[in-house]
Amino acid sequence: MTLPPRPRKRFAQHWLRSEATLDRIVAAAELDRRDRVLEIGPGTGVLTRRLISQAQAVVSVEIDRDLCERLTKSLGQQDNFLLLQGDILSLDLAAHLHQFPQFQTPNKVVANIPYNITGPILEKLLGTIPCPLEAGYSSIVLLVQKEIADRLCAKPGTKAYGALSVRVQYLARCELICDVPAKAFYPPPKVDSAVVRLRPHRLEVPAQNPQYLERLLKLGFAQRRKMLRNNLRVEIERDRLAVLLEQLKINPQARAEDLSLGDWIALSNILASQN
What does the alpha-carbon distance between residue 196 and residue 261 come to, in Å, rounded to a whole number?
A: 19
Residue 151 has pLDDT above 50, yes or no: yes
Which one-letter amino acid corresponds to residue 181? Answer: P
Residue 2 in any domain: the answer is: no
> 31 and 164: one domain?
yes
> Which is nearest to 141 in space by CA: 174, 168, 163, 100?
174
**Across residues 136-154, what is the average pLDDT?**
97
Give the lowest-confidence range in 112-116, 204-208, 210-214.
Answer: 112-116
Q: Is the pLDDT of residue 2 over 70?
A: no
Which stretch of 4-8, 61-65, 193-197, 247-251 has the lowest confidence by average pLDDT? 4-8
Q: Give 3-state DSSP helix, strand, coil % of the chain, rounded to 5.
A: 40, 20, 40
Q: ω before 187 within 30° of 0 (cis)?
A: yes
pLDDT at 1 exceeding the cut of 50 = no
Calculate mean pLDDT across residues 253-263: 97
- 136 pLDDT band, cuts 50/70/90, is confident
With 50 as the cut, is the pLDDT of residue 175 above it?
yes
Distance in angstroms (rounded) separating the CA atoms of residues 174 and 160: 14
Per-residue pLDDT for 3 more than 70?
no
pLDDT at residue 12 in the model: 65
Separation between Cα atoms, residue 171 and residue 219, nearest integer Å: 20
Q: 254 and 157 in one domain?
A: no
* pLDDT (average), residues 61-74: 94
Amino acid at 62: E
Residue 111 clears pLDDT 70, i.e. is over it? yes
β-strands 81-85, 57-62 pairing = parallel
The tally of domains found in the chain comes to: 2
Give residue-wise pLDDT tens across range 211-249: 999 999 999 999 988 999 999 999 999 999 999 999 999
Nearest to 40 by CA among 96, 136, 111: 111
Query: Is pLDDT above 60 for 123?
Result: yes
Residue 83 included in any domain: yes
Q: Note whether 117 and 230 are same-domain residues.
A: no
Model-level pTM?
0.93
Looking at residues 116-141, what average pLDDT do you find?
A: 94
pLDDT over 60 (residue 44): yes
Using DSSP, state whether 17 is helix, strand or coil: coil
| CATH number (domain holding residue 220) | 1.10.8.100
221-235 in b/e burial notation, b at 16+ Cβ within 10 A? beeeeebbbebbeee
**Cα(120)–Cα(233) distance, integer angstroms:** 30
Inside any domain, residue 205? no
Average pLDDT over residues 122-144: 94
Domain residues for 179?
A: 9-200
Of 258, 262, 267, 263, nearest to 162 (Cα)?
258
Q: In this structure, what CATH number is given to the domain that contains residue 136?
A: 3.40.50.150
Q: Give the per-residue pLDDT at 194.
A: 98
Which pLDDT tens digit goes with each residue over 179-203? Answer: 999 999 988 889 999 999 999 999 9
The answer to whether residues 162 and 26 belong to one domain is yes
